[in-house]
Structure 1
């Protein structure tokens, strides 16, 4: 895969940002460099390496228990939010038009 002007154009639209031509070129170069680095990483043989969830060893006693806690200021936060419905905060949706 190569990052080209068409892909940069699509990424600009999806992220809703404006870029100058020089910024587009820099991002295109940076992303292509990143893909080249990933190709190098892809060549590393990891067949004999055991999977791990963290580079730091720790015991499970360090992790806190996942417990539900009541939050006392819930109604105050909902009342201060611009829009709410049925006790939940309402935010604008994300709409992507891929035709353009």
Structure 2
């Protein structure tokens, strides 16, 4: 993948960041280096490696999944939210 001004502008829009014109060239180089590194990962043979692993002996411990409602906790969370409505967080629209 080639990182050009079009890609930088798309990334800036998607991330809602303003990228300084002076830093665009260095950002292009850094992103190109990162993508090059990731492309190198495709050449590694992982056919002999298990898809998942854990460092815990006996596997991952599970807890019982019990649904519960704690109204005081919910109120405390929404009290600290900038905006909420009907038990949901209200956030600005970011996708057009």
Give the shorter-chain TM-score range: 0.7 to 0.9
Q: Which residue of 2 aligns with 1:32?
A: 32
Which aligned pairs between 1:61-80 and structure 2 lie closer than 5 A? Answer: 62-71=61-70, 72-79=72-79
Deviation at 1:49, TM superposition (A): 2.0
Aligned to 1:95: 95
Query: What CA distance in whole angstroms lies between the structure 1 residues aligned with 2:69 and 2:28?
Result: 47
Instruction: Output the CA distance in 1 between the equivalents of 2:5 and 2:81.
Output: 40
Match of 1:21 in 2: 21
Let me know the Cα RMSD of the aligned residues.
Answer: 2.4
Q: Structure 1 stretch 60-69 or stretch 40-49: which is displaced more?
A: 60-69
Tell me the TM-score normalized by structure 1: 0.71
Give unmatched runs, 5+ long, in structure 2.
none
In the superposition, the TM-score normalised over structure 2's length comes to 0.73
Deviation sequence 1:71-95 (CA, Å, 0-9, x none): 2332344355443332333222223
